[in-house]
Chains A and B, each alone.
Chain A
Amino acid sequence: MANAREIQSRIKSVQDTMKITNAMYMISSSKMKKAKKILEDTEPYFYNMQGAIARILRHVPDIQHPFFSVRHLVPTRERKTGIIVVTGDKGMAGAYNHNITKLTDEFMEKTPGYHRLYVLGMTGRQYYEKKNADVDGSFRYTVQKPTMHRARLISEEIVRAFLERELDEVHIVYTQMQNAAVMEAVDMQLLPLKKTSFSPFQIPVQAPQEEIEMYPSADVVLDTMIPNYLTGVIYGCLVEAYASENNARMTAMQASTDSAKKMLQELSIQYNRARQAAITQEITEVISGAKAQKRK
């Protein structure tokens, strides 16, 4: 058995680590609350905007617009896919970063053609730079404190790349938060937009079609609407990923605080035993010493 001093220094080190994990737990829980609040604030804008686009598409069914073009003419082998990967800036969040990179890798294996990665967050960037994937170097945004401004810069960049045919498809891989316990890495297609995803149910033929005038023209309206919509989607994804990251970190840190507590308990039992053994031994030594003296 280790001696009492060794156990004591081990207890000290576990206690110090527990202080850190406990502090990280509290920080990430407050960050997550903030992120959830932001997420709730953006939801009305987001859902109503989706509804509005669905309505336009319903009333103008045969609309031709570059954002909706699937580009059938590009063969699958030559398709250029852009993937926005939302990871965290640091680890200590359980499987959060790993799940994202795993899903991205799977996606890249599944789809043939050329892939270009837009990585958000330091851990993902380091991972893909080590793997020598094509990572866009100018795309250096942090995932801390998502802002509308950052979402706008990202969406401007991908819209430009899409329209200039640098990319034929754009996906985003981020972590969705279904509830406080369940988080899942998901892959969502941003561009080209799918008409079906806006209107899930079939419109009956007899449904009265209202006449809606588009001012100045349908194209111009969609031209401003869709980048705005994408900005909104990206912002929503960033906020959700941020909330998930902090939730993951919170759970991980709570687990490690708990196991630190358990370790401390075991160590303190061990320490007491060692201390008692030492005391017993000392008493035996003193008594036997005294006895030896008496016999003289």
Chain B
Amino acid sequence: MESTFGLEIYASNKLFFSGRARSLTVPVEDGEKAFLAHHANLIAAIVPGEMRYEDADGNKMVVAVSSGFVEMINNRGKIFCLTVERPEEIDVRRAQEAKERAEEQLRQKQSIQEYRMSQLALARAMTRLRVTKEL
């Protein structure tokens, strides 16, 4: 039995990846979730973080994702995230600035909504920085 599954990764501005994959690891609320071929049907919410996948030729890819979800149905995986970025696409300085800005905002008194927005912005910035570190 072949041990790959169909994988499509959709970012809001493009079809990021489409093809066969061997494994997929996505960030979820309580850590990470890994998928191999013939995983049970599942839909999971993705939180901003680092996503890894290995395509059919064994190339390992690390990308930064923002919030979205993954659906794994009948050995076909589809990922929908607002942004999916390769490490080389990320502007490190911009991410650094965004991180500092978010930290600054978190230190101030805010409404709960503003607090959550800054928290999410911080999560996105930190993911971007982490992914680029291995470059």
Q: Within A204-249, which residues are at the interface with B (CB < 8 Å)?
A: 210-216, 220-221, 223-225, 228, 231-232, 235
- From A156, A215, A220, A232, give the contact of B42 (CB < 8 A): A215
Q: A44-B14, A215-B33, A221-B45 are in contact. List 11 more A-B contacts (CB 8 A).
A: A45-B10, A52-B43, A148-B12, A156-B113, A212-B41, A213-B42, A214-B42, A216-B28, A224-B45, A225-B45, A225-B69
Assess whether A42 is interfacial by the CB under 8 Å rule.
yes
Residues of B at the A interface (CB closer than 8 Å) are: 8, 10-15, 28-30, 33, 40-46, 67-69, 71, 73-74, 78, 80, 82-83, 113, 117
**Which 5 residue pairs spanning A and B have beta carbons closest together?**
A215-B44, A224-B45, A45-B10, A212-B41, A213-B42
Q: Which residue of A lies closest to B45 (CB)?
A: A224
Q: Which residue of A lies closest to B14 (CB)?
A: A41
Assess whether A116 is interfacial by the CB under 8 Å rule.
no
- From A148, A160, A210, A221, give the contact of B82 (CB < 8 A): A148
Q: Within A235-266, which residues are at the interface with B (CB < 8 Å)?
A: 235
Q: How distant is the Cα of A160 from the Cα of B71 in the complex, in angstroms?
A: 26
Contact present for B45 and A215 (CB under 8 Å)? yes
Residue total for A at the interface (Cβ-Cβ under 8 A): 30
Q: Which residue of B lies closest to A217 (CB)?
A: B45
Contacts of B44 in A (CB 8 A): 214-216, 221
Contacts of A160 in B (CB 8 A): 113
Q: How distant is the Cα of A154 from the Cα of B83 in the complex, in angstroms?
A: 17
A-B contact count (CB 8 A): 89
With most chain A CB atoms within 10 A of its CB, the pick from B11, B40, B71, B117 is B71
For residue A41, give the distance in angstroms from its CB to the closest CB of chain B.
5
Q: How distant is the Cα of A105 from the Cα of B13 in the complex, in angstroms?
A: 33
Contact present for A49 and B43 (CB under 8 Å)? no
Q: Which residue of A lies closest to B13 (CB)?
A: A41
Assess whether A48 is interfacial by the CB under 8 Å rule.
yes
Contact present for A156 and B117 (CB under 8 Å)? yes
* A224-B28 CB under 8 A given contacts A45-B10, A213-B41, A213-B42: no
